[in-house]
Structure 1
């Protein structure tokens, strides 16, 4: 049987350092002799020390979100969305060169030689903003159709 790495002195030192708010990695380095962070955390758990630990005294972490896009949002004009960029007359990419986040709006006949896809950055689903406004039309719901949907008719 091998001797335990946790002597009474080490256990008391662990308890003191843990209650001071030190991290498990810092305690493992302090105690040395092959103890790992995981070994320290396991012992802390078995001793029931994790519940009574004070908050760490280090600097608080502040999460900074990236700057928001300052352009005005597109406005809905009739059935189409008026954005900052007009829809091109011809596509920028082909079936073989289109990438994951590029608009897949087709231009021309797929069997024809000049067939292409839009290729602008995707805004919704598989299409750029102007093409998504055409592809995904909102369902017009009348009060009667909503009542029928709710089972009130």
Structure 2
């Protein structure tokens, strides 16, 4: 069995009308299976089927609804199915708008040596650890917030989403 242009056109027409893969296979005949139809639909990238009004599945057994459960909300936009569901839209390729600049306030404190470092001080390293003038930031940090002052914490802990965005921008440049 081979896929001729006529058979592909008929497949597309029946698929977009909402006919099931089994019924399309029976319609096209010649030993065509449901899986062959599904495979061809996938390779053609067909989606956006409409439901056929006359074709319904058997009625499910009546069930009592639990009073504590709310019904699932229906999506307001049409769902995209098939191999085109993850296709990148041109609008998604646009670079994100730059973030507004923020004034950076760094608390002024004298860098400290490891011997002068206390629990309430920022442990951000400054300089080369092998050099004699190596120091730590020493600014006051919020207790229980980690080892750094608020300024160095923003540098050290970049959200993963921002790191991914920066990598994409660097790759495209």
* TM-score relative to the length of structure 2: 0.33
Which has a greater percent of strand? Answer: 1
* TM-score relative to the length of structure 1: 0.37
